[in-house]
């Protein structure tokens, strides 16, 4: 197993423990309510590589993700987990604010995440933001696995879709049991993709 994959599993394992412990400890209260995640729908098996399509115009989460993966065009007007939230603009601004943190590594990246999230384990909104940043980091690792050809576009699309759906659950302050179930599904998909 390569160092990148081993690191991915270590980060994912630590992240899973963090989510479960934070939400099991009652990280509830407050939170966003609002519309749907914009997810669902089937993904065609067609390739977007050859087309000049604007991924934003596609109607389903899965189609937009696959388009972005295959074209390498990661631009978007609103980050997927923010779509339909009552605080969509605030959520989008938070994504812009944390973006420089992803250039950091290790402890520096974590410190940056916590600083942007105004992390306080007793403040549910800061915990949700921090978890979202960790999930986005995980999403980037899936993209790297695709770029390194450990997984194909369909596998990467499914994994990223699962991560985004978990982020939506976090932002909507869903129960820990529901988030754990989604994480377990993600783990199963990841293992299946690596077989």
Q: pLDDT tens digits for 154-183?
A: 999 999 999 999 999 999 989 989 998 998
| 10 pLDDT higher than 60 | no
Q: For residue 111, give its domain range.
A: 3-193
Q: pLDDT tens digits for 14-60?
A: 455 444 444 333 333 333 333 333 333 333 445 665 567 888 889 99
**CA 27, CA 163: separation in Å to the nearest integer?**
19
**CA 111, CA 122: separation in Å to the nearest integer?**
17
Residue 49: per-residue pLDDT: 59
Element (H, E) at 67: helix 61-71
**CA 170, CA 173: separation in Å to the nearest integer?**
5
Domain total in the chain: 1
* pTM tops 0.85: no
Residue 167: per-residue pLDDT: 94
110 vs 190: which has the higher pLDDT = 110
Mean pLDDT of the region 65-91: 89
Average model confidence (pLDDT) for the chain?
78
The residues pairing with 34 across neighbouring beta strands, listed in sequence order, are 85
Mean pLDDT of the region 131-154: 92
């Amino acid at each position: 197993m390569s160092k990148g994959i081993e690191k991915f599993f270590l980060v994912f394992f630590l992240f899973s423990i963090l989510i479960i412990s934070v939400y099991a400890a009652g990280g509830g209260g407050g939170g966003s309510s609002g519309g749907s995640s914009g997810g669902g729908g089937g993904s065609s098996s067609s390739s977007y590589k050859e087309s000049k399509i604007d991924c934003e115009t596609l109607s389903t989460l899965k189609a937009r993700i696959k388009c972005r993966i295959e074209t390498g065009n990661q631009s978007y007007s609103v980050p997927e987990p923010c779509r339909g939230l009552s605080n969509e603009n605030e959520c989008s601004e938070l994504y812009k604010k944390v973006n420089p943190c992803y250039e950091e590594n290790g402890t520096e990246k974590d410190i940056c995440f916590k600083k942007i999230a105004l992390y306080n384990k007793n403040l549910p909104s800061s915990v949700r933001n921090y978890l979202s940043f960790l999930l986005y980091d995980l999403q980037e690792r899936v993209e790297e696995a695709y770029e390194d050809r450990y997984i194909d576009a369909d596998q990467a699309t499914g994994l990223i879709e699962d991560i985004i759906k978990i982020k939506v659950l976090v932002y909507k302050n869903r129960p820990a049991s529901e988030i754990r179930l989604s994480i377990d599904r993600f783990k199963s998909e990841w293992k299946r993709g690596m077989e």
